[in-house]
Amino acid sequence: MLLFAACNSSTSEETAQKSASTTTTTKPLVGGPCQGCEAVLEYGDKVLTTIDTLPAFQETEPKMKVTGTIYQKDGRTPAAGVILYAYHTNRKGIYEAKEGAKGWAKTHGFIQGWIKTDQTGQYTFYTFRPAAYPNRAEPEHIHLTVKEPNRNEYYIESIQFLDDKLLTTEKQQQLRKRGGSGLTTPRLENGLLLVKRDIILGMNIPNYE
């Protein structure tokens, strides 16, 4: 019995040491938990560039052009090699999924887009203005997720529109400005609503080093 206990004690110590070692070397998840953030990598064989056109852009109004620059944490240096994923509802306020959709497209719907920044850090999405959810519980918004080289993916503050009556002062005050402010003022020019959303990597992002 003593021999059995000693062996078990030794095994327990080894297990504890391994566990402690693993705990020490495991880094906290940048940005915290994020259900669906892995969709940032579900672009398949699509060749990513700095510009993308989301599905249904041509046939849907009002058309929108979203532009911006992704900066490193200093807020000045353009960030290259960053993947930015965007998705939003259709004009009925629904995340419409296509038949046979796979991965997160079953939940996020087919109105999705991906870009990858070059040395300028700039990006452009051609899309259309999303509608609010049918229950009107949330303002219109465009979801954004980033994937930096050598860091896990994380979500940043959605793009929202200051002319949206659902975007109350109270809701604005609740925003955390993850990656900078997502509040924008659409400007109509040549039939396109122009929206600018600059991004500062790591800004107000938990566990960001």
Residue 16 domain-assigned (yes or no): no
Residue 116 domain-assigned (yes or no): yes
194 has which bridge partners? 65, 187
pLDDT at 11 over 60: no
Residue 192 domain-assigned (yes or no): yes
Query: pLDDT of 93-130, one tens digit each?
Result: 999 999 999 999 999 999 999 999 999 999 999 999 99
pTM over 0.75: yes
Residue 11 domain-assigned (yes or no): no
Query: Can you give the CATH number for the domain in which 114 is found?
Result: 2.60.130.10
The candidate with the shortest Cα–Cα distance to 123, out of 202, 60, 201, is 201
Contact between residue 208 and residue 73 where contact means Cβ atoms under 8 Å apart = yes
Average pLDDT over residues 154-164: 98
Identify the domain containing residue 153 by its residue range.
31-200
Count of the separate structural domains present in the chain: 1
Percent of the chain with pLDDT over 70: 88
Contact between residue 84 and residue 145 where contact means Cβ atoms under 8 Å apart = yes
Residue 20 domain-assigned (yes or no): no
Average pLDDT over all residues of the chain: 90
